[in-house]
Amino acid sequence: MSERITGIAASDGIGIAKAYRLVQPDLTFEKKTVDDTEHEITRVKRALQASSNDVQAIRDSAEKSLGKKEAEIFDAHLAILADPEMVSQITDTIKQKKINAEEALFEVTDNFAKTLQAMEDNPYMQERATDVKDVSKRVLSHLLNKPLPNPALIHEPVIVVAHDLTPSDTAQMNRKYVKGFLVDLGGRTSHSAIMSRTLEIPAVVGSEKATQVVKNDDEVILNGLDGFAVVAPDDQEQQQYAAEAQHFEQERAEWRKLRNQPSVSADGQHFEVAANIGTPNDVTAATSAGAEAVGLFRTEFLYMNSDELPTEDAQFEAYKRVLEAMKGKPVVIRTMDIGGDKHLPYLPLPEEMNPFLGYRAIRISLDRQEIFRTQLRALLRASHYGQLRIMFPMIATLDEFRSAKQIFTEEKQKLIDQGTAVADDIKLGIMVEIPATAAFADQFAKEVDFFSIGTNDLIQYTFAADRGNDRVSYLYQPYNPALLRMINRVISAAHKEGKTAAMCGEMAGDKVAVPLLMAMGLDEYSMSATSILRVRSQMKHLNVADLKKLLPEILENCKTNAEVKQLVEQKVNI
Ligand code: PEP
Ligand code: MG
């Protein structure tokens, strides 16, 4: 019998394939005494051989997808597996102590790792201790017959089932074979959900029990449109969802025809539909989806995909690439938004009780000014190659914006004094993602050049509900009138001062929210590249004058998120 697992629809599309559990197995074991030591020695030798085969395959695959240097780590693993000293110590321990292979492996490798770790004057050897532990874990997994997951080795279509996915796990997935993600944790705006949309991989997150229910190789239908999965589907379900997947693909093909058209409502009003990107590579998906701008470049991914702070030149190259690829269309680059759920291994941040409310984004930039100034210099130098706009994240007070602007102005002047070409029309804007900033939008609008409403954070702070926590995901309420009123006021405040209002949170691509935002006059909608054509198609069918008539009823009479949704679904053809 098939089983249904419900969760949160996090990335559009339907995938059907066998499950691949990206879950670390439980490798606990008991120490036993044995009579047949030869049998234990044979077992350990087999496990060593199987581990070598694994590592060799991972090594080859890493070399192809990541490069020679990244593959070198696996050479170290292969050398450990073949180390005659270690192998003979394990077999001797089995013979002398008459213990099982698992215990002998543990005792010997633990000893090796401890010896290496003690070499305080040799950091290279100390690091090898981690390799020994990794290798030992792999051999143990073979002894216990509980294989470790190897995402790099996926070579057939799969639905990846995981307890949690970090952004870096998600980034390593091969789009060709990964047909969907089914994840226990996470909300619609957690960063792994956002990455899965960028990669165009259907995803269901916050499923709570997927890893308890789904076994390796179970057939799974993953419905990222409606937020559920069916495990071991029957023939009828297989046919139904294969047809729906096909229908979705046809719809996508229709949308693709709008690639080179502007985003215009049925009554002729133009809006800008833009792309959110995380790396310069994403710009290809943005341009091929017909993005009219880059509305948000989350630059922190440049920092996260590096082993050290990216240099000014490396950043300059990345920003220049995006500006050139957009051929004079606007590119909004947000300064680094580290902290919260985004960490840099080389920039340890203090442990905090509430990282989302802590030391992050502009707060770090204003504190660690050398990092901020390097980024601003790279941006200023790149400004020459396109239409750059700079945006500051997590602005809570006017003072923060003024300080950031002051530092920007100083760096600009220094570059001009050196004779470096810098554009003189760089607009400076802020993310509106903190309720205090939304409440004070009329004053901010006098000083900034543009707003971009970051609803992912604005909703989490307004409803005091962690965006990554599926237990409180019911409080992700983009249609709640309390939030809609706030957004409406922010847009009006911008317009009153002749400034533009954009939105770059996930709500900008939400089919129920889009008609409301059009009625409020939101100028720019920035979203995952995969949503652009769907939204453009939706806008084409909507009449702004009609939507404006509906707005007062929504803002004044509706009381709940559900009421607004229902009213929009009834009155608007979405
Ligand atoms: C937001 O908060 O809405 C936003 C776009 O920024 P991020 O998702 O990167 O926090
Ligand atoms: Mg944010």
Residue 241 confidence (pLDDT): 96
Residue 67 confidence (pLDDT): 67
How far apart are the CA of 504 and the centre of ligand 1, in A? 7
Ligand 1, residue 189: give the atom nearest the CA.
8
Q: What is the pLDDT of residues 109-147, one digit of tens each?
A: 999 999 988 887 777 777 788 789 889 999 999 999 998
Tell me if 101 sits within 8 A of 40, measured CB to CB.
yes
**Which tokens go with 255?**
């949308």
Residue 72 confidence (pLDDT): 76
> Is residue 239 classed exposed, middle or buried when 0-12, 13-18 and 19+ CB atoms within 10 A define those classes?
exposed
Instruction: Judge if the beta carbon of residue 184 lies within 6 A of ligand 1.
Output: no
Residue 459 confidence (pLDDT): 98
Structural domains for the chain: 3-23+150-253 (3.50.30.10), 37-143 (1.10.274.10), 257-571 (3.20.20.60)
Residue nearest to atom 6 of ligand 1 (CA): 454
Nearest to 216 by CA among 138, 159, 139: 159
Q: Which ligand is nearest to the CA of 394?
A: 2
Length of the chain measured in residues: 574
Q: What is the pLDDT of residues 238-285, one digit of tens each?
A: 999 999 999 998 998 899 999 999 999 999 999 999 999 998 988 988
Residue 124 confidence (pLDDT): 75
Q: What is the pLDDT of residues 176-194, one digit of tens each?
A: 899 999 999 988 877 778 8
Beta bridge partners of 276: 296, 528
Give every CB contact of residue 19 below 8 A, 6+ residues apart in sequence: 158, 159, 161, 182, 214, 215, 216, 217, 218, 219, 220, 231
Residue 171 confidence (pLDDT): 62
Q: What is the pLDDT of residues 347-365, one digit of tens each?
A: 888 889 999 999 999 999 9
Q: Which residue of 431, 458, 459, 486 sits with most ligand 1 atoms within 8 Å of its CB, as the best mutation to test the pocket?
A: 431
Residue 406 confidence (pLDDT): 98
Ligand 1, residue 296: give the atom nearest the CA.
5
| Residue 547: pLDDT over 90 | yes
pTM of the full structure: 0.74
**How far, in Å, CA of 376 to CA of 461, rounded?**
28
How far apart are the CA of 66 and the centre of ligand 1, in A? 28
Instruction: Give, as one character, the DSSP assignment of residue 147.
Output: P
Tell me if 339 sits within 8 A of 361, measured CB to CB.
yes
**Which tokens go with 163?**
């307890």
Q: What is the pLDDT of residues 397-411, one digit of tens each?
A: 999 999 999 999 999
Distance of CA 109 to the CA centre of its chain: 36
Q: Per residue in 96-114, is it b (16+ CB within 10 Å) or e — as a string?
A: eeebbbbbbbbbbbeebbe
Instruction: Judge if the beta carbon of residue 454 lies within 6 A of ligand 1.
Output: yes
Mode of pairing for the β-strands spanning 294-298 and 330-334: parallel
Cα 191 to Cα 163, 165, 344, 361: the distances in Å are 15, 9, 15, 15
User: What amino acid is encoded at 554 in this protein?
Assistant: I
How far apart are the CA of 470 and the centre of ligand 1, in A? 17
- The yes-or-no answer on residue 558 being catalytic is no
In 91-209, the DSSP E strands lie at: 158-162, 178-183, 203-205
Q: Which ligand is nearest to the CA of 300?
A: 1
Q: What is the pLDDT of residues 44-81, one digit of tens each?
A: 999 999 999 988 887 887 677 656 766 777 888 899 99
Euclidean distance between the first and final Cα of the chain, in Å? 35
Using pLDDT thresholds of 50, 70 and 90, give the confidence band for residue 220. Answer: very high
- The yes-or-no answer on residue 191 being catalytic is yes
Q: What is the CA radius of gyration of the chain?
A: 27
- Percent residues over pLDDT 70 in the chain: 98
